[in-house]
């Protein structure tokens, strides 16, 4: 039985059904190492524990790792040769970026046992044939499970003879221009937006130019909250006099991407952190927070993450500290920031985005 506090969703229910069928047909898999990657609810992890499998856990999200720690114990934040050594079954929640599937499927084909079965699950409405093609680059046999609970698993087997230490196109690379400055961007597979320059981020950074002297001085403690591919942190480090800069994200992939982007631009001295929100920072400890909040949680649209990050920024800002935010006009976050942080005004905008400044009272 799944632990009572764990509530599986439809993708979990489907994967548990497929796993039951698979292990019944091939019972030898129950005695071989097993990996759960990026469990969302904790149901897959709890099931693996209850089945007494030789299970290893990988969790990109700092928040989910903390939530599921009572089930999993310590987890790896990324797939590695050690994690996949001898592994015969891998179960994975498909993410939105195809780059994520490209990265993890290559890693599994390269480092797991040659008899490995990779089960990648998602709701049927989010599946497409591009995912099959990505899997076929690393595996010779790709098929789909039966559908259960409006969800389905893509099943990849027979790894191809891959060589090297990393997927050939990971991290993604890009060169961009922001306010006459050239930046090199890097992004690992699960980093939202890959190595592209988000248009909202461009507007945000260009809008901050008149505020550099006032808010980004040598004594400033600044935070790039939700650092993603590191565009904001790298731009602030290179183009302002900010004294102490922190870049932080819930995603381990984003943290790796930010570190790679900083290195590609020869920037050092930025403290890059993997955490949910700003939980490792004290109350009233920072002067400026810069934020482009995500509005996706996996495959679903949501405002919950943005509201959580606004509250975290408010907690961490010193009295008089400032939050600079960009968001899509359709999201309507201004009232929430006014409530969570303090007086909020628009400092820039275009047809799609609004940039605001909120001051902590």
The Cα 327–Cα 279 span in angstroms is: 23
Same domain, 248 and 188: yes
72 occurs within a structural domain: yes
Same domain, 281 and 344: yes
The Cα 93–Cα 298 span in angstroms is: 9
167 occurs within a structural domain: no
Domain final residue, candidates 101, 131, 159: 159
| pLDDT of amino acid 303 | 60
CB of 111 within 8 A of CB of 81?
A: yes
Exposure of 268 by Cβ count < 10 A (0-12 exposed, 13-18 middle, 19+ buried)?
exposed
CB of 269 within 8 A of CB of 91?
A: no
- Percent residues over pLDDT 90 in the chain: 92
Please list the alpha-helical segments (H only) found in the chain: 10-25, 43-50, 62-67, 69-72, 81-84, 98-111, 129-136, 199-207, 212-215, 231-239, 252-264, 304-316, 334-340
pLDDT tens for 181-224 read 999 999 999 998 999 999 999 999 999 999 999 999 999 999 99
Domain final residue, candidates 130, 159, 188: 159
2 occurs within a structural domain: no
Same domain, 152 and 178: no
Q: Position of tokens 């507007």?
A: 203
87 occurs within a structural domain: yes
pLDDT over 50 at 299, yes or no: no
Number of separate domains in the chain: 2
Q: Position of tokens 């060169």?
A: 175
Least confident of 1-10, 68-77, 97-106, 242-251: 1-10
pLDDT over 50 at 260, yes or no: yes
pLDDT interval class at 294 (50, 70, 90): confident
Same domain, 230 and 310: yes
Same domain, 32 and 86: yes
Same domain, 122 and 202: no
Residue 207 sits in which domain range?
172-359
Same domain, 63 and 193: no
Find the CATH number of the domain harbouring 152: 3.40.50.150
Domain final residue, candidates 159, 193, 217: 159
80 occurs within a structural domain: yes
Q: Note the pTM of the prediction, 2 decimals.
A: 0.95
Same domain, 142 and 281: no
Q: Which of 190, 171, 167 is nearest to 260 (CA)?
A: 171
Same domain, 120 and 183: no
Same domain, 27 and 113: yes
Same domain, 202 and 107: no
Same domain, 124 and 200: no
């Amino acid at each position: 039985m799944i632990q009572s506090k764990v509530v599986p969703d439809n993708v979990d229910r489907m994967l548990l059904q497929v796993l039951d069928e698979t292990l019944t047909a091939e019972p030898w898999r129950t005695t071989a190492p097993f990996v759960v990657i990026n469990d969302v609810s904790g149901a897959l992890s709890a099931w693996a524990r209850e089945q007494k499998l030789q299970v290893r856990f990988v969790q990109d999200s700092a928040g989910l790792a903390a939530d599921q720690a009572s089930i999993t114990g310590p987890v790896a934040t990324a797939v590695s040769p050690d994690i996949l050594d001898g592994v015969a079954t891998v179960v994975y929640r498909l993410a939105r970026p195809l780059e994520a599937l490209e990265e993890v499927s290559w890693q599994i084909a390269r480092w797991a046992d040659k008899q490995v079965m990779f089960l990648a699950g998602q709701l049927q409405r989010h599946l497409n044939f591009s995912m099959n093609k990505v899997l076929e680059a690393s595996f010779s046999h790709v098929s789909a499970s039966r559908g259960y609970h409006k969800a389905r698993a893509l099943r990849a087997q027979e790894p191809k003879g891959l060589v090297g230490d990393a997927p050939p196109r990971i991290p993604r690379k890009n060169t961009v221009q922001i306010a006459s400055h050239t930046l090199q961007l890097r992004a690992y597979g699960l980093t939202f937006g890959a190595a592209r320059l988000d248009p909202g981020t461009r507007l945000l950074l260009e809008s901050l130019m008149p505020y550099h002297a006032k808010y980004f001085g040598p004594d400033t403690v600044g935070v790039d909250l939700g650092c993603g591919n590191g565009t904001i942190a790298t731009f602030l480090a290179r183009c302002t006099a900010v004294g102490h800069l922190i870049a932080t994200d819930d995603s381990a992939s984003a943290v790796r991407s930010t570190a790679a982007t900083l290195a590609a631009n020869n920037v050092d001295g930025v403290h890059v952190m993997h955490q949910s929100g700003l939980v490792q920072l004290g109350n009233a400890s920072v002067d400026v927070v810069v934020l482009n909040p995500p509005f996706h949680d996996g495959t679903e649209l949501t405002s919950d993450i943005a509201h959580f990050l606004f509250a975290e920024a408010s907690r961490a800002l010193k009295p008089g500290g400032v939050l600079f935010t960009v968001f899509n006009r359709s999201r309507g976050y201004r009232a929430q920031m006014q409530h969570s942080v303090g007086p909020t005004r628009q400092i820039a905008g275009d047809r799609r985005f609004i940039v605001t400044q909120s001051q902590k009272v």
